[in-house]
Structure 1
Amino acid sequence: MSILAERGHARPAAPVPAPLRPVRLLRGRRGEVHRPPTRARVVAGRRPAGAPCAAPRPVPVRWPWLAGLAIGCCLVVTGLGLFSGGSASAPVPERTATVSVGQGDTLTSLAARFAPGSEPGAVVARIRELNRLDEAVLVPGLPLTVPVADPAVAAAP
């Protein structure tokens, strides 16, 4: 409503306060130019995904390096295996002797006693083969045929 006076429109004596708008705090976007919400944000010189002139970046070829690294690792593992396995123990002795199993003896202890320079697992397999043993239960006093590295060791009690 306006009041008409002789000289034109009359103004109110006190200014009318403007309606309060909610204040929105922008955190983490300092220095960013205000943009409409429909426009994509450009970050560090990258173009938005939907831009018509956004060409895909060339991806560096990495697979040759990965293949070379895999082959190098395989060679290192193979070399370490050959290096550690290079000290092969003596083969299983061909000579055999018949011994009596004592109290608390196992196939491994017999293999270590009668063929000390050979691989214990191979000697145990040979003892099982010579005596046709399926299970590893040994009864004291049982005669067993075992490979012997030195004939003097078999003669000793």
Structure 2
Amino acid sequence: APRHSRGTECGGNAHPRSRPRPQTAAAASAERVFARRRSVAGILVGAALAGLVWVFALVGGDYEAASAPAPVATSVVHVRGGETLNSVAARVAPEVPRQAVINQLRALNGMTTTSLSVGQALVVPVYR
């Protein structure tokens, strides 16, 4: 008759990982303190990250305008055929961020749309 082998089966609590470790009151208390500190640290890190996002939202919301220099004067230019606000901004202030110049063009001229007409006079900011 064939003989059946049990191989490496462990029976009961023979495996060291399956035995519960005896825990003293001091060890249990230290574990609770560590868990509490970990929770508090997580909350503090989350609050710090939320504060950082809030600061970046305040500062970064108008970053292009903040990064553009203030205009020293204004001038009048006439729109050429095929020009857009973007191309006018590039022509009058190539070194300044385009969106900041476009925003100033719209504010200086009281524009509610971006449409331009050939020959239209625009007040533009002058940077030095």
Question: What range describes the TM-score normalised by the shorter chain of this pair?
Answer: 0.5 to 0.7
The residue that corresponds to 1:63 in the other structure is 39
Instruction: Give the direction of change, closer, same or farther, for the CA distance of 1:128–1:72 in structure 2 (3 Å limit).
Output: closer
The total of aligned residue pairs comes to 101
The residue that corresponds to 2:89 in the other structure is 111
Over the aligned positions, Cα root-mean-square deviation in angstroms equals 3.8
Uncovered stretches (5+) of structure 2, i.e. residues with no partner:
1-7, 22-27
Provide the secondary structure at the position in 2 that maps to 1:66.
helix
Q: Deviations over 1:19-42 (max 9, x none)?
A: xxxxxxxxxx93224xxxxxxxxx
Q: Displacement, 1:133?
A: 1.3
Provide the secondary structure at the position in 1 that maps to 2:67.
coil
The residue that corresponds to 1:44 in the other structure is 18
CA distance in 1, matches of 2:41, 2:112: 52
Q: Displacement, 1:112?
A: 2.4
Instruction: Give the direction of change, closer, same or farther, for the CA distance of 1:134–1:127 in structure 2 (3 Å limit).
Output: same
Q: Percentage identity across aligned positions? A: 27
CA distance in 1, matches of 2:88, 2:50: 38
Q: Kindly indicate whether the alpha-carbon contact (under 8 Å) linking 1:90 and 1:119 is maintained by their aligned counterparts in 2.
A: no
Q: Kindly indicate whether the alpha-carbon contact (under 8 Å) linking 1:116 and 1:149 is maintained by their aligned counterparts in 2.
A: no
Which one of 9, 20, 30 corresponds to residue 9 of structure 2? 30
Uncovered stretches (5+) of structure 1, i.e. residues with no partner:
1-28, 34-42, 48-56, 151-157
Which one of 108, 117, 132 corresponds to residue 110 of structure 2? 132
Larger Rg: 1
Q: TM-score, length-normalised on structure 1?
A: 0.47
**Runs of 4+ in structure 1 over 4 Å off:** 71-79
Relative contact order: is structure 1 or structure 2 higher (C-alpha 8 Å, sep ≥ 6)?
Answer: 2
